[in-house]
Amino acid sequence: MLISCNKLKKYIDKSEEIDWLNIWKTFTIRTAEVEEVKEVGKQIDNVVIAKIIKCEKHPDSDHMHILEVECGEANPVQVVCGAPNVRVGLKTAFIKVGGHIDGVEIKSRPLRGIMSNGMCCSKKELGISDEHDGIIELPEDAPVGMNIKKYLPIEDIIVEIDNKSLTNRPDLWGHYGIAREISAITEHELKSLELFNIKNDEKLETLKIKINNPELCYRYTGLKIENIKNNKTPLEMQIFLYYVGMRSISLIVDLTNYIMLELGQPMHAFDGRIVKEIEVGLANDKDTFKTLDNVERNLTKDMLMIKNGKEYFGIAGVMGGLDSEILKDTTSVFLESATFNAGSIRKTAVALGLRTEASARYEKSLDPNMTKTAIERLIYLLQKENKELKISSQLTDVYPNKLDETIIKLHKKVLNRYMGKIMEDSTVKNILEKLGFAVEIEEEYFNVTVPTYRATKDIKIEQDLIEEIARIYGLENFTPKPLKLDLTVKEHETIYNQEYEVKELLATKYDLNEVNSYIWYDTNLLKRLEIEKKGVKLLGKTENNILRDDLSFSLLNIAENNFKNYNKFGIFEIGTIINNNSNKRVLSIILADEEKNIEKTYNKAKEICTYIFKVLKNENIIFKNHINEKEYNNSKLGKIIFIDNNKVGEINVINKKITNKLAKKKVIVCIDIDFDKYVEIEKKEKISEEISKYPMVELDYTIIMPKELKYEDLDEILKNYKSKLIKKYYLIGKYENKYTIRYLIGSDIKTLEQKELQTFKERFIQHIKDNNLLIIE
């Protein structure tokens, strides 16, 4: 929102004492964020009011004139001007030789052979409008020779305040509210607004106004006025409107905008000739309505409308209709000043994609007690330009549920607790009163009366008042203070730590890279892979709208992208999937390599799983075969990971068809570990075991397996070979179908003798042979 400091100065007593350029730094930390402070009108100098006293056609041009202007100097000055509206007697702005406009110096120079000593200016050249169709026309009583800056408020400081930081402050959506803040911050008096006191004349008609939905329209105030003969907006107001980002249209329209910019109360003026009876009610579904901007709008039954008779007249709080627009020839106007429900206006504006200055304000919950003031202020300003203005109706005010001032008890104990210090009664009272609150001091609390312009949204409980006190007291006056000492040892949850522990292990021990991905499937990828996923869906979205139920599968597009740069890589994520309508945490690891390395990669996956559980949980996991149901997984490969009889995860290989679509001649192995279960597993505490004092012997055997058998079959056979001497056995190598097994054997009570070793060896070889396998010693 743009704010004109010239306007603010009008509302504040002794405003000249305020540093208007720098006050905004303070405003930022007291009230709301200021985005920009800009000085305007500085780049213009030596412009004075001049009167054209002679006007002749330029002999050598079809549009230029040779003028003589009086500009307060001893002799008239000759100037050549191309504007079409030049005429004798016109008063305008004239820039003298040596003056500047937009940093360019004006010099005497011939124009088509005739000397021109200066320049007459358009509004655009003065920087006060976009109009450039002629030189500015000043009123007849403008004093010749006077510096234009003294006559018109061309020099101003324009401040942009971040709209978002005003979300909770309906009272700050007009200049008067900002002035109230400045007055509180600087401790200057705020002047009251000049109003026209409308006395209701019994003889005048009462306007027909009906509110069908008092929950959506809190108040509707209407007034009919006639005999508006002058519809020209004073220059000063035009400049103000331009500086704060609005276009001047006509006096009556400009005034409704002006009141909105001043008080924050949007107003609407309808052509007085066509208003019959006003009804505020909801639209019918599928009706259409043409707004002021000449766009046909589709209505719904949730949209609040202003109706005239049976016809739609305007979309309440958003925009008026094209048919009720003020026409040039009207001298009669119906003024609307109303308050609507904030949520309803916002929804309508959003649904229509039509956010207007009015709807932006209504969305903030305006004070219904402002409607009458707004009309009285408008009449006051209108009457200045139209002395013969006639009020032709009663001020008709439909206000079903009057909003009264509220009283909040602010306990001193609570205030001091929040502030971290003891606040003086007088300080509290002074701050609140400056902001418009009334304060009575009691023993243990303050009785604070909240003005209605703060009560609609922002100030409801005592903490809201504490916020007011703290900010005006000065947030920079707070000193950081430590919490009181608390030595309780607490750890509510270990999830975060456990996640980090696993991540760190994977990154350091296995050189894997952590990625973050999205919680939904990439629709594009699903399409290309011809995989259909059913799951929880995002509403109102057609792409990327299915929540993932398989973390590793959802990581395939990341894998695909990395194949562009790497033949071999490993990534992982701990993320959420949605399964059976509930959140589940999963650790997924993807190992990608060239197809020829499938065995190595697959075994690596098993090693990683074993390692995680052994190191971090001291648990031995077991791999079991499973029938792979998912269409994108290799149905022959894949393991389920168990701890005892508890399934904690899976290893899968993406099948060839899918893999080939991602990258040619590659293999992708996926590990998914149920992290909710993982977190629940308590780390087994290991108790120290007695270690034998006697040496152990390593014996290696290579066993040749028939092609159709696997290691798991061999393992079954090995398990059946029992001997007290076996400490441990494990696979140390595999070449084709030759498996090398290492046995560690020994005794706890003595060093093994050659004979015992020999017996062990012979029995073992016999056991293998009994199982029809070949053994190489």
Partner 1 sequence: MEKELEILVEELEKELQNCQKEADLLNVKSSFIGKKSKISQILGSLKEMSVEDKRKYGSIINNTKKKMEEMITNYAENLENQNEVVFDDSVIYDTQIGSLHPVTIVAKEVTECMKKMGFTVVSGPEMETEYYNFEALNIPKDHPARDMQDTYYLDNGMLLRTQTSGNQIHAMEKYGAPLKVCSPGRVFRNEDLDANHENTFFQVEGMVIDKDISIENLLYTMKQILTEVMKCEVNLRLRPGFFPFTEPSYEIDMECTICKGNGCPTCKNSGWIEIVPGGMVHPNVLKAGGINPEEYNGFAFGLGLTRLAMMKYKISDIRILNGGDIRYLKQFNIK
Site for partner 1 in 611-650 (CB under 8 A): none
Binding part of the chain for partner 1, among 65-73, 94-102, 493-501, 639-647 by CB under 8 A, reads: 493-501
Q: How far is the CB of 672 from partner 1 (least distance, A)?
A: 17
Q: How far is the CB of 673 from partner 1 (least distance, A)?
A: 17
Q: How far is the CB of 168 from partner 1 (least distance, A)?
A: 4
For 188-273, list the strands marked E by DSSP: 209-211, 217-226, 267-271
Binding part of the chain for partner 1, among 76-84, 338-346, 636-644, 748-756 by CB under 8 A, reads: 338-346
Binding part of the chain for partner 1, among 105-113, 115-123, 246-254, 415-423 by CB under 8 A, reads: 415-423
Binding part of the chain for partner 1, among 477-485, 593-601, 615-623, 692-700 by CB under 8 A, reads: 477-485
Contact status: 22 vs partner 1 (CB under 8 A): no
Q: Which of 64, 275, 333, 555 binds partner 1 (CB under 8 A)?
A: 555
Q: How far is the CB of 493 from partner 1 (least distance, A)?
A: 5
Contact status: 317 vs partner 1 (CB under 8 A): no
Q: Read out DSSP for 591-644?
A: EEEEGGGHHHHHHHHHHHHHHHHHHHH----EEEE----STTB-SS--EEEEET
What does residue 712 show for φ and ψ, rounded to 5 degrees? -60, -30
Cα–Cα dist 506/558, whole Å: 18
Residue of 254, 269, 267, 264 whose CA lies nearest to 338? 267
Q: Is the CA virtual torsion 274, 280, 281, 282 positive or negative?
A: positive
Contact status: 484 vs partner 1 (CB under 8 A): yes
Binding part of the chain for partner 1, among 376-384, 490-498, 691-699, 746-754 by CB under 8 A, reads: 490-498
Contact status: 422 vs partner 1 (CB under 8 A): no
Contact status: 33 vs partner 1 (CB under 8 A): yes
Contact status: 496 vs partner 1 (CB under 8 A): yes
Q: How far is the CB of 489 from partner 1 (least distance, A)?
A: 9
Contact status: 481 vs partner 1 (CB under 8 A): yes
Nearby residues of 203 by Cβ (< 8 Å), 6 or more positions away: none
Binding part of the chain for partner 1, among 505-513, 615-623, 628-636, 756-764 by CB under 8 A, reads: 505-513
Site string for partner 1, 83-102 (x = CB under 8 A): --------------------
Site string for partner 1, 137-176 (x = CB under 8 A): ----------------------------x-xx--------
Q: Which is nearer to partner 1, 309 or 420 (CB)?
A: 420
Residue of 279, 132, 292, 299 whose CA lies nearest to 207? 279
Q: Which is nearer to partner 1, 566 or 694 (CB)?
A: 566
Q: Which of 196, 380, 445, 510 binds partner 1 (CB under 8 A)?
A: 510
Cα→Cα distances 377→76, 192, 245, 271, 387, Å: 43, 11, 21, 20, 15
Q: How far is the CB of 17 from partner 1 (least distance, A)?
A: 24
Contact status: 347 vs partner 1 (CB under 8 A): yes
Query: Which residue is it, tokens 């924050």?
Result: 264
Q: How far is the CB of 389 from partner 1 (least distance, A)?
A: 40
Q: Which of 183, 562, 628, 633 binds partner 1 (CB under 8 A)?
A: 562
Number of Cβ within 10 Å of residue 387's Cβ equals: 9
Cα–Cα dist 281/48, whole Å: 54
Binding part of the chain for partner 1, among 385-393, 563-571, 598-606, 646-654 by CB under 8 A, reads: 563-571
Cα–Cα dist 673/440, whole Å: 64
Cα–Cα dist 576/551, whole Å: 8
Q: Which of 182, 318, 470, 658 binds partner 1 (CB under 8 A)?
A: 470
Binding part of the chain for partner 1, among 323-331, 561-569, 623-631, 681-689 by CB under 8 A, reads: 561-569
Total chain residues near partner 1 (CB under 8 A): 84
Cα–Cα dist 378/385, whole Å: 11
Q: Which of 89, 103, 480, 695 binds partner 1 (CB under 8 A)?
A: 480
Contact status: 21 vs partner 1 (CB under 8 A): no
Cα–Cα dist 218/174, whole Å: 20
Contact status: 539 vs partner 1 (CB under 8 A): yes
Q: How far is the CB of 471 from partner 1 (least distance, A)?
A: 5
Contact status: 217 vs partner 1 (CB under 8 A): no
Q: Which two tokens stand for residue 103?
A: 């940093």
For 58-163, list the strands marked E by DSSP: 65-70, 77-81, 91-101, 104-105, 109-111, 114-116, 119-120, 156-161
Assign 539 to helix, strand or coil.
coil
Cα–Cα dist 187/147, whole Å: 33
Binding part of the chain for partner 1, among 10-18, 68-76, 88-96, 566-574 by CB under 8 A, reads: 566-574
Binding part of the chain for partner 1, among 190-198, 463-471, 629-637, 683-691 by CB under 8 A, reads: 463-471
Q: How far is the CB of 492 from partner 1 (least distance, A)?
A: 5
Q: Give, rounded to a whole angstrom, the gap between the first and last alpha carbons of the chain.
A: 89
Contact status: 353 vs partner 1 (CB under 8 A): no
Among positions 713-752, residues that touch partner 1 (CB under 8 A) are none
Cα–Cα dist 777/768, whole Å: 12
Q: How far is the CB of 757 from partner 1 (least distance, A)?
A: 26
Cβ-contact 625, 653 below 8 angstroms: no
Contact status: 524 vs partner 1 (CB under 8 A): no
Binding part of the chain for partner 1, among 100-108, 368-376, 496-504, 702-710 by CB under 8 A, reads: 496-504
Q: Which is nearer to partner 1, 192 or 581 (CB)?
A: 581
Q: How distant is the alpha carbon of residue 717 from its chain centre?
A: 66
Contact status: 519 vs partner 1 (CB under 8 A): yes
Nearby residues of 354 by Cβ (< 8 Å), 6 or more positions away: 291, 297, 315, 318, 319
Contact status: 508 vs partner 1 (CB under 8 A): yes
Residue of 292, 288, 351 whose CA lies nearest to 319? 292
Cα–Cα dist 124/122, whole Å: 5
Q: Which is nearer to partner 1, 524 or 620 (CB)?
A: 524
Phi-psi bin for 303: left (phi > 0), alpha (psi -120 to 50), beta? beta
Q: Which is nearer to partner 1, 365 or 633 (CB)?
A: 365
Q: How far is the CB of 537 from partner 1 (least distance, A)?
A: 5
Cα–Cα dist 263/268, whole Å: 14
Amino acid symbol at 741 = I
Q: How far is the CB of 480 from partner 1 (least distance, A)?
A: 4
Q: Which of 102, 140, 424, 491 binds partner 1 (CB under 8 A)?
A: 491
| Cβ neighbourhood burial of 465 (10 Å; 0-12, 13-18, 19+) | buried
Contact status: 534 vs partner 1 (CB under 8 A): no
Cβ-contact 306, 273 below 8 angstroms: no
Binding part of the chain for partner 1, among 25-33, 332-340, 373-381, 763-771 by CB under 8 A, reads: 25-33
